[in-house]
Structures are given as C-alpha cells and as structure tokens.
Amino acid sequence: MGMAAEPKLGSKVFYKIGEVSQIAKLPAYVLRFWESEFGFLKPRKSRGRQRLYVQRDIQTVLEIKRMLYEEGYTIAGVKRFWARRGRHGSKQMRPRELAKRMRGDLQAVLRILESYQN
C-alpha cells in the first residue's frame, strides 16, 4: 500500500518512453527533443510507432543528462564529444577506420611518453 517502487533498469529488453522518463527523471518531451538533436540516440520504433528503448539507449540518455546537467556541457558540446567517440550518427565506425584512428592515438601517446625519456 506504500508508494510505487521506483522503476530501475531490470532484465527487460525494451522500455517505453514513459518508463525511460521515470528512470531518467526527465519529461518525455526532453527525451524526444534529445532524439531529434543527437543522431546517436535512436530508440527503435514498434509497429505502432511507439519508441522502444534498449538498455544501451537508457545508458546513453543517462550519460547525456549527466553531461548537460552536471558537467555543464552544451548540446553542441555533447555532439562534439560523441562525434569524437566515433559514435556520430547511427552508423558505427568501420573496423579499418577505427584501427587507423586508434593507431594514430597510440602513436601520439608514444610520442608523449618518449618526450619524457629525453
């Protein structure tokens, strides 16, 4: 007879926008707005055109919320951050592209480390 238990990420595969709204403590219109702003946030849609979020989508929502509300990022800043992470748009980076980027990053780290030895 107490208050309803607060929804948590459980073993469900799909979550509706209302559930994600409660989990993230954000109004549904904010989630819809973020979906229009951030190409990397793309919940699936059911046949009835209802948004179906998977756990990874919810983790993305929580990360966006943290960046915007706690770390002071702007919308543009979040977009730049995610673009640099190689998750720009819904397409994943091709393995060869990713390997090339990682090789460049590792070479930069090596140069930094070598500069300390001299």
Tens digits of residue pLDDT in 67-82: 999 999 999 999 989 8
pLDDT of residue 28: 96
Count of structural domains within the chain: 1
Domain of 81: which CATH number?
Answer: 1.10.1660.10
Q: Domain containing 73: what range?
A: 17-89
Determine, yes or no, domain membership for 54.
yes
Choice between 83 and 95, residue whose per-residue pLDDT is larger: 83
Determine, yes or no, domain membership for 46.
yes
- Average pLDDT of the chain? 83
pLDDT of residue 92: 59
| Residue 4, pLDDT above cutoff 60 | no
| Residue 2, pLDDT above cutoff 60 | no
Task: Taking residues 29-52, report their average pLDDT.
Answer: 93
**Tokens coding 5:** 């238990």
> Alpha-carbon dihedral of residues 43, 82, 61, 48, nearest 10 degrees?
-10
pLDDT of residue 93: 60
